[in-house]
Amino acid sequence: MAVAGSNDAHWSSRFAFIMASVGFAVGLGNIWRFPYVTGENGGSAFVVIYLACAFAIGVPCLIAELMIGRRGQSSPPASMATLAVESGRTPRWRIVGGMGVFTAFSIAITYAVVVGWVLSYLFKAASTGFVGVDRAGAAMAFETLLGDSGAMLFWTLIGNLLVGGIIFAGVKGGIERAVNIMMPTMFTLLIGLSIYNVFNGGFMETLEWLFTPDFSKVGPSTFLAAVGQAFFSIGVAMGGMMAYGSYLPKDFSIAKGAITVVIADTVVALLAGFVVFPAVFHHGLDISSGAGLIFQTLPVAFAQMPAGHVFAVLFFLMLSVAGITSMVGLLESVTLWIDQRFGVHRHTGISVVIAAVTFCSIASVLSYNVWSDARLLGMNFNELADGLPTKILLPAGGLLIAVFAGWFMDPQYSEEELQTSSTNYRLWQLLVRFIAAPAIAIILVTGLL
């Protein structure tokens, strides 16, 4: 039985889907967080544990989300409702799809501001190359940006308009065309900058940091960190993968596509380590400075290294691509829902979404300066907007998707969609039921506690 859907857009090739999905999964956090977490949790020992978690938890959940999207052929809420009714369940499962759309919008509000920072630094890199910048100057420049609401709003708007323009042009004319250019560009920049660092110093220290196993650091917290990194970095439960799944043709292998996305996501994260950390080690900078590593620490390295001006431009260009493609995935699911829920044209839908995200981002911008002392539940707006999705909505949504796909969706329909051998199907079912769902439940409880 085929599910009648209202979505007639499809990816033109497997390559386009992979590029779009990897672009969505690889965000700004991957660039610095994965290498740092790897080093802090045992180096290559953590990488092995992470890969096990990614394939045992991330892949089954990603398969489930893509499968629901393709069979539903609609927005995440409508796809969940359609499949639930088809399987003899309550249509209230649409709430799970709605959670994904709301989560995507919530993340986009604060993420758009950070993308604006990256674009601002790309402009600075192109115009000055951070020449003569020292630690005090880099810290002051970042603090100045955070205190300048007008500048942050300007760059946030620029980023939102770029994202909106890509989605405005449609799946094939916009998203496909953009990712087919931007993602190979990002891969090329990652590889090129990694090779540059081989000769620029700090490369051997990075190899040791990432790939020297330190089993003394491996404990329960290591496994929890690996599970969390695997789940969040792949991009499930944000609506984006379900929306992208609705554009998949019927002859596309969902399992192979999901595995390819996870492998590519991991490779990008590791390559990012070879881009970021050699400069940090070579110049004796703070490796654990989080988001400040990009905006306060690396400009100091760019100012000191040979051809630092060029390196800085290429680095922030790469970051801009990562940020924009992630925003496209987040807002595509919201746009698809608005288009189908209210029966409006895509152009109207994305215009409304961009306007709403930009308006709500004002609160995020002001929380860095004017509203920095305003608190709700002990958190300012940005802390609340970040904590609610990452600690509650994402793991709760992922858990419900895994439970629905593994236990409530009619096995006949899920097996039809996966188009694989009975052995592989039973393996996926085992993983999504007894490995992925319990692991995500642990993430949810840990986040709440």
Out of 78-92, 103-117, 191-205, pick the least confident: 191-205
Q: CA-CA distance, 95 to 84, in Å (whole number)?
A: 11
- What confidence score (pLDDT) does residue 336 get? 96
- Domains of the chain, by residue range, sit at 14-448
- What confidence score (pLDDT) does residue 1 get? 38
- What confidence score (pLDDT) does residue 7 get? 61
What whole-number percentage of the chain has pLDDT above 70? 98
pLDDT tens for each residue of 303-329: 988 888 999 999 999 999 999 999 999
The phi, psi pair for 379, rounded to 5°, reads -125, 150
CATH code, residues 14-448: 1.20.1740
- What confidence score (pLDDT) does residue 8 get? 61
Average pLDDT over residues 115-140: 93
Judge contact between 278 and 150, C-beta under 8 A: no
Handedness of CA 274, 278, 279, 285 (dihedral sign): positive
pLDDT tens for each residue of 379-424: 889 888 888 898 899 999 999 999 999 999 999 999 999 999 999 9
Residue found by looking up tokens 């192109």 in the block: 126
* Cα dist from 171 to 7, 107, 195, whole Å: 11, 22, 34
pLDDT, mean over the chain: 91
301 exposed, middle or buried (CB, 10 Å; 0-12, 13-18, 19+)?
buried
Out of 39-43, 172-176, 348-352, pick the least confident: 39-43
Residue 340 DSSP SS3: helix
- What confidence score (pLDDT) does residue 6 get? 53
- What confidence score (pLDDT) does residue 214 get? 86
Calculate the CA 113 to chain-centre distance: 15
Query: Residue 5 above 60 pLDDT?
Result: no
Q: Which two tokens stand for residue 21?
A: 């999905």
Residue found by looking up tokens 């799809």 in the block: 97
